[in-house]
A and B are shown apart, each in its own frame.
Chain A
Amino acid sequence: MTMTDNTTGVLGQRLLRREDPALLTGEARYTSDLPIPGALHLAVLRSPYARARIVSVDTSAAAAMPGVTAVFSGADLAEAWAGPMPCAWPVTEDMKSPTHYPLAVGQANYVGDGVACVLATSATAARDAIDAIDVEYEPLEAVIDLEDALSDRVVIHDEIGTNRSYTWDLKIEESEGQVDQAFADAAYSVKERYIQQRLIPAAMEPRAVAAIPQPFGGDMTLYSATQVPHILKVMTALTLGIPEHQLRVVAPAVGGGFGSKLNVYAEELLCVALAKRTGSPVRWTETRSEGNQATIHGRGQIQDIELAADSDGRLTAVRVRLIGDMGAYLQLVTPGVPLLGAFLYAGVYELPKAYDFSCTSVFTNMTPTDAYRGAGRPEATYAIERAMDSLAAEIGIDPLELRRRNFIPTASYPYEAMTGLVYDSGDHDRAATLAADMIDYAGVRARQQTQNVPGATKRLGIGVSTYFEMCGLAPSRVLASLNYGAGGWEAATVRVLPTNKIQVVTGTAPHGQGHETAWSMIVAEKMGVSPDDVDVLHSDTAIAPLGLDTYGSRSLSVGGVAIAIACDKVIDKAKQIAAHQLEANPDDLEFSGGEFRVAGSPDRAMPLAAVAFEAFTAHNLPDGLEPNLEAHTTYDPPNFSWPFGTHMCLVEVDTETGQVDVLKYVAVDDCGNQVNPLIVDGQVHGGVVQGLAQALYEEAVYDSDGNLQTSTLAEYLVPAASDVPAIETGHTVTPSPTNQLGVKGIGEAGTIASTPAVINAVVDALSGLGVRDVPMPASPNTVWRAINEAQGGQQ
């Protein structure tokens, strides 16, 4: 690690979060808490059909309801948009994207697609009135099954003439046909199909929006429960054709996102358009049941993966075929999600240049999918980690041993992978060994010998998952090569005030991650002040005009590093002032503990506080130096960051009921240097449970007509405390060599690692019964059926 030597020892402490008192006392304000006098309330009428022609919309009865000020159909608002809803990631030149407006015109394409809307003086009046809108629909056949969609038997969107959005390939071969040859020559090979079920992100705070026209001049302030205030500002300006400088976007307290608030939504655009049209503030708060339909879903893939291995079990080729479920339309980054996984189907293993990945993504009549915690990487990790277990079974060796044989050796880091990406640092063996010790891997294997005997109904299983979290999105040039519509930089400003208090302005947009606490620690460490003397400003484009927001575990490794660099710039400038005052050469000054000292003459010193005041009065600055101590940085990371680790899960499966009991869960994660281990552990806990929820509980279920069967939280099973285990966390520390803090991301690691760890454990428990796979979610019913099938249906 290349920390500057002015450390005060703040980094690495379990500092309690400054965010907490306001959140704990109810004083924090989420978007729906904001008092907005005179606001009109928006309600959206949503299609009850998965696919239907909109024959007519009669708004007259609704318009006459008490409190209603206006009612609009999609056609009524056609003029309000300068362009359709944005998709920022056209992954191929010929990608197909159906035109998508905030309210559907002509045809509705999923249950929940907005068809008309109401403005009223109260939320209740607005909701009452949408029931009075008379829409005549002509129901059309819906397409739900991905392979059916691919066949184009029924084409959803006439305008594009196919359900296929794109096919994106990543083929890496030293010589033509190498992948085929490797499979032909393989001593062992496996071919598996896994289904990534659709998930509903279900951040606990439903989405909420308020657009407030400002007096005179046409300025507009948009409050939104969003992860991406900066992206939202640009996209709203473009979609509505309003000058970007007249738009201010604020994300107040935001109650979780997990990708679901990394988007530009119809209701955000509707609120701004209607506030502009009426001159009144317009607000909207999603109901949960509405959100289950109208907020993006995650996952939704069919994965076919093949591994080839030599006689030692070392991988010689990987082939992947994906079908991605886009849902009815492309949202902000929908098509890019499978691509984010494309680089990770060889996991943490050495693979020669023999890799063949192809993804075809299709439209269906379901809620659009988009990034959900991990976005493409949990899917990829699941496939390779499940397939490694199959390969181990095929060869007849322990799955952990197979992984060890294939780990990228520690000595080969930085490691250029077959995809051309360079993995910054790693030590997989160390992480795996620690996890194995924590769970007593050898002891569990011994217990299995005595417990999983023929006829046993409580069977013990252990699951291993090793992973990379390719994150810290991302070097702008790499994003360009993937056709992503923006860069991956992050901005920071550090400003030392005359009284030596420090303001930091960041382009990250926290929604639970504790950035205010963590960023104050980085500044405290760099500047030699107390974290209490640092104020962190964010999530308001009037205060933090530049930024690319929070997603993809990027905030620390891009935004946090930007702050450290801005601190360095401030220190450089302060050094010139101090040198001038001390009549020394700037090169002879050292900065530590918040004080500049002339090397070799400890009595000649000047504290940062005094420099800050000098910079403010500007009475005696070096010639040509501007007053004030402030620096701005825009940092474009040179690489992704590559956190890694090993998770292990111990389960007991009741073969009579199919019930899976998680007995122990061990997470060993390496995210390089930790700014605040308290926060790191919290991220791991939450991530693990979200991934475990995919493995055991959650699925967005549609019937064949496209009706969402899990449209409420009573039906969609977000696990409660009693459904999940305690989580034992362990860490190894392998600093990233690509940034001065030595940090890597941690936001998605838990979700990426845990799903395969859990399912591997379940399958391991049942392997003696001939079970080779259990689909997700592994509910008692599903597990019981898998056992029954493996036993030839005799149970």
Chain B
Amino acid sequence: MEITVTINGKSHTADVEPRTLLVQFIREQVGLTGTNIGCDTSSCGACSVHVDGEAAKSCTLLAVQADGCSITTIEGMAAADGTLHPMQQAFMENHGLQCGYCTPGMVMAATSLLAENPNPTEEEVRIGLEGNLCRCTGYHNIVQSVLACAKS
């Protein structure tokens, strides 16, 4: 099936199998490998992207369901000159990442969290990130990163 998807501002038209997941399409056909895969049960959130401005786990969508959508992946977050997005900057400054594998998904989920709730409490951040697992940081500095970003 032919689909057209805008990813990070660039339009991609491609032929996909009906069973191709959006995350597979992004990684394998478009070649943007920043979006990671951490599970096969929609549990980890490593694959989180923005679909039409809202965070979504790209392993829970078929590529065909994204036909006509506008998608932002982690590669689309920093400015063209390389300046980090404020959320990326906050993660860096607060040591919100270690191995980095959950990080693209965390950054996408966290930006979408702040878009909905610009001034969350610590509790709200923790609940808001419930769908994203991290095995390295114990979440402490991820939560600090999001709170710092909200403040700035």
- Are A33 and B33 closer than 8 Å at their CB atoms? yes
Which of A22-30, A96-104, A388-396 contacts the other chain? Answer: A22-30
Which interface residue of A35, A288, A712, A750 has the most chain B CB atoms within 10 A?
A: A288
- Are A682 and B137 closer than 8 Å at their CB atoms? yes
Q: Which residues of B contact A287 (CB under 8 A)?
A: 40
Q: In the assembled complex, how far is the CB of residue B135 from the closest CB belonging to chain A, in whole angstroms?
A: 5
- Are B133 and A513 closer than 8 Å at their CB atoms? no
- Are B126 and A722 closer than 8 Å at their CB atoms? yes
- Are B138 and A727 closer than 8 Å at their CB atoms? yes
Which interface residue of A21, A204, A513, A714 has the most chain B CB atoms within 10 A?
A: A204
Check A721/B98 contact, CB under 8 A, given A24-B92, A205-B36.
Answer: no
Q: Which residues of B contact A783 (CB under 8 A)?
A: none
Q: How far is the CA of A75 from the CA of B143 in the complex (A)?
A: 51
- Are A718 and B99 closer than 8 Å at their CB atoms? no
Asked whether any CB of chain B lies closer than 8 Å to the CB of A688, the reply is: yes
Asked whether any CB of chain A lies closer than 8 Å to the CB of B88, the reply is: yes
- Are A24 and B97 closer than 8 Å at their CB atoms? yes
Of A256, A511, A724, which contacts B138 at CB under 8 A?
A724
- Are B38 and A206 closer than 8 Å at their CB atoms? yes
- Are B141 and A685 closer than 8 Å at their CB atoms? yes
- Are B138 and A722 closer than 8 Å at their CB atoms? no
Asked whether any CB of chain A lies closer than 8 Å to the CB of B58, the reply is: no
Q: How far is the CA of A721 from the CA of B107 in the complex (A)?
A: 14
Q: Which residues of B contact A24 (CB under 8 A)?
A: 74, 84, 88, 91-92, 97, 100, 103-104, 107
Chain B residue nearest to A33 in the complex (CB)? B33
Q: Which residues of B contact A512 (CB under 8 A)?
A: 98-100, 136
- Are B77 and A256 closer than 8 Å at their CB atoms? no
Which residues of chain B in 67-101 are interfacial with respect to chain A, using CB atoms and an 8 Å cutoff? 73-75, 77-78, 84, 88, 91-93, 95, 97-101
Q: Which residues of A contact B101 (CB under 8 A)?
A: 30, 203-205, 255-256
Of A16, A513, A689, A713, which contacts B92 at CB under 8 A?
A16
- Are B133 and A713 closer than 8 Å at their CB atoms? yes
The majority secondary structure among interface residues of chain B is loop
- Are A256 and B141 closer than 8 Å at their CB atoms? no
Q: How far is the CA of A204 from the CA of B39 in the complex (A)?
A: 8
Q: Which residues of A contact B97 (CB under 8 A)?
A: 20, 23-24
- Are A25 and B140 closer than 8 Å at their CB atoms? no
Q: In the assembled complex, how far is the CB of residue A757 from the closest CB belonging to chain B, in whole angstroms?
A: 14
Q: In the assembled complex, how far is the CB of residue B142 from the closest CB belonging to chain A, in whole angstroms?
A: 7
Q: In the assembled complex, how far is the CB of residue A699 from the closest CB belonging to chain B, in whole angstroms?
A: 16
Q: How far is the CA of A254 from the CA of B136 in the complex (A)?
A: 12
Of B31, B44, B139, which contacts A204 at CB under 8 A?
B44
- Are B41 and A713 closer than 8 Å at their CB atoms? yes
Asked whether any CB of chain B lies closer than 8 Å to the CB of A442, the reply is: no
Asked whether any CB of chain B lies closer than 8 Å to the CB of A514, the reply is: yes
Asked whether any CB of chain A lies closer than 8 Å to the CB of B46, the reply is: yes
Q: How far is the CA of A136 from the CA of B81 in the complex (A)?
A: 59
Chain B residue nearest to A688 in the complex (CB)? B138
Q: Which residues of A contact B37 (CB under 8 A)?
A: 32, 206
Q: How far is the CA of A720 from the CA of B84 in the complex (A)?
A: 26
Chain B residue nearest to A14 in the complex (CB)? B95
- Are B88 and A720 closer than 8 Å at their CB atoms? no
Q: In the assembled complex, how far is the CB of residue B92 from the closest CB belonging to chain A, in whole angstroms?
A: 5
- Are B100 and A722 closer than 8 Å at their CB atoms? no
Interface size for B (C-beta < 8 A) is 55
Asked whether any CB of chain A lies closer than 8 Å to the CB of B134, the reply is: yes
Q: How far is the CA of A679 from the CA of B94 in the complex (A)?
A: 10
Q: Which residues of B contact A263 (CB under 8 A)?
A: none
Q: Which residues of B contact A712 (CB under 8 A)?
A: 39-41, 43
Check A204/B33 contact, CB under 8 A, given A19-B100, A712-B39.
Answer: no
Of A26, A288, A687, A718, which contacts B75 at CB under 8 A?
A26
Of B92, B103, B127, B136, which contacts A686 at CB under 8 A?
B136
Q: Which residues of B contact A679 (CB under 8 A)?
A: 95
Asked whether any CB of chain B lies closer than 8 Å to the CB of A595, the reply is: no
- Are A21 and B92 closer than 8 Å at their CB atoms? yes
Q: In the assembled complex, how far is the CB of residue B103 from the closest CB belonging to chain A, in whole angstroms?
A: 6
Q: How far is the CA of A530 from the CA of B148 in the complex (A)?
A: 28
Of A17, A255, A288, A722, which contacts B127 at CB under 8 A?
A722
Q: Which residues of B contact A685 (CB under 8 A)?
A: 137-141
Q: How far is the CA of A289 from the CA of B44 in the complex (A)?
A: 12
- Are A255 and B36 closer than 8 Å at their CB atoms? yes
Of B33, B132, B133, which contacts A29 at CB under 8 A?
B33
Asked whether any CB of chain A lies closer than 8 Å to the CB of B62, the reply is: no
Q: Which residues of B contact A255 (CB under 8 A)?
A: 36, 99-101
Q: Which residues of B contact A687 (CB under 8 A)?
A: 138
Chain B residue nearest to A34 in the complex (CB)? B33
Asked whether any CB of chain A lies closer than 8 Å to the CB of B2, the reply is: no
Q: Which residues of B contact A599 (CB under 8 A)?
A: none
Chain A residue nearest to B139 in the complex (CB)? A721
Of A28, A258, A681, A726, which contacts B135 at CB under 8 A?
A258
Asked whether any CB of chain B lies closer than 8 Å to the CB of A170, the reply is: no
Q: In the assembled complex, how far is the CB of residue A727 from the closest CB belonging to chain B, in whole angstroms?
A: 5
Which residues of chain A in 187-228 are interfacial with respect to chain B, using CB atoms and an 8 Å cutoff? 202-206
Of A202, A205, A513, A724, which contacts B139 at CB under 8 A?
A724
Which interface residue of A23, A718, A721, A722 has the most chain B CB atoms within 10 A?
A: A721
- Are B95 and A205 closer than 8 Å at their CB atoms? no
Chain A residue nearest to B101 in the complex (CB)? A255
Q: Which residues of A contact B42 (CB under 8 A)?
A: 714
Q: Which residues of A contact B73 (CB under 8 A)?
A: 26
Q: How far is the CA of A28 from the CA of B88 in the complex (A)?
A: 14
Asked whether any CB of chain B lies closer than 8 Å to the CB of A269, the reply is: no
Q: Which residues of A contact B38 (CB under 8 A)?
A: 204-206, 288, 713
Q: Which residues of A contact B95 (CB under 8 A)?
A: 16-17, 678-679, 681-682
- Are A253 and B92 closer than 8 Å at their CB atoms? no
Which residues of chain B in 103-152 are interfacial with respect to chain A, using CB atoms and an 8 Å cutoff? 103-104, 107, 122, 125-127, 129-143
Chain A residue nearest to B133 in the complex (CB)? A718
Chain B residue nearest to A206 in the complex (CB)? B38
Which interface residue of A24, A287, A678, A686 has the most chain B CB atoms within 10 A?
A: A24
- Are A203 and B33 closer than 8 Å at their CB atoms? no
- Are B99 and A26 closer than 8 Å at their CB atoms? no
Asked whether any CB of chain B lies closer than 8 Å to the CB of A690, the reply is: yes
Chain B residue nearest to A726 in the complex (CB)? B140
Chain B residue nearest to A202 in the complex (CB)? B135
Q: In the assembled complex, how far is the CB of residue B60 from the closest CB belonging to chain A, in whole angstroms?
A: 12
Q: Which residues of B contact A724 (CB under 8 A)?
A: 138-139
Q: Which residues of B contact A722 (CB under 8 A)?
A: 126-127, 129-130
Q: How far is the CA of A30 from the CA of B37 in the complex (A)?
A: 11
Chain A residue nearest to B32 in the complex (CB)? A26
- Are A204 and B107 closer than 8 Å at their CB atoms? no
Q: In the assembled complex, how far is the CB of residue A30 from the closest CB belonging to chain B, in whole angstroms?
A: 7
Q: Which residues of A contact B100 (CB under 8 A)?
A: 19-20, 22-24, 28, 253, 255, 512
- Are A25 and B75 closer than 8 Å at their CB atoms? yes
Q: In the assembled complex, how far is the CB of residue A160 from the closest CB belonging to chain B, in whole angstroms?
A: 35
Q: In the assembled complex, how far is the CB of residue A555 from the closest CB belonging to chain B, in whole angstroms?
A: 13
Of A27, A204, A727, which contacts B140 at CB under 8 A?
A727
Q: In the assembled complex, how far is the CB of residue B72 from the closest CB belonging to chain A, in whole angstroms?
A: 11
Asked whether any CB of chain A lies closer than 8 Å to the CB of B102, the reply is: yes
Of A21, A30, A35, A514, which contacts B84 at CB under 8 A?
A21
- Are B92 and A17 closer than 8 Å at their CB atoms? yes
Q: In the assembled complex, how far is the CB of residue A326 from the closest CB belonging to chain B, in whole angstroms?
A: 24
10 pairs, CB–CB < 8 Å, chain A vs chain B: A20-B100, A24-B107, A26-B34, A26-B73, A205-B36, A205-B101, A256-B135, A288-B38, A718-B135, A726-B143
Known: A20-B91, A288-B44. 14 other contacts (CB 8 A): A25-B34, A28-B100, A203-B99, A253-B99, A288-B40, A511-B99, A512-B99, A682-B136, A685-B140, A685-B141, A712-B39, A712-B43, A713-B133, A724-B139
Closest 10 CB pairs of A and B: A26-B34, A23-B100, A255-B101, A512-B99, A689-B138, A685-B138, A33-B33, A512-B98, A713-B43, A26-B74
Give A contacts to B, CB under 8 Å: 16-17, 19-30, 32-33, 35, 202-206, 253-256, 258, 287-289, 511-514, 678-679, 681-682, 685-690, 712-714, 718, 720-722, 724, 726-727, 750
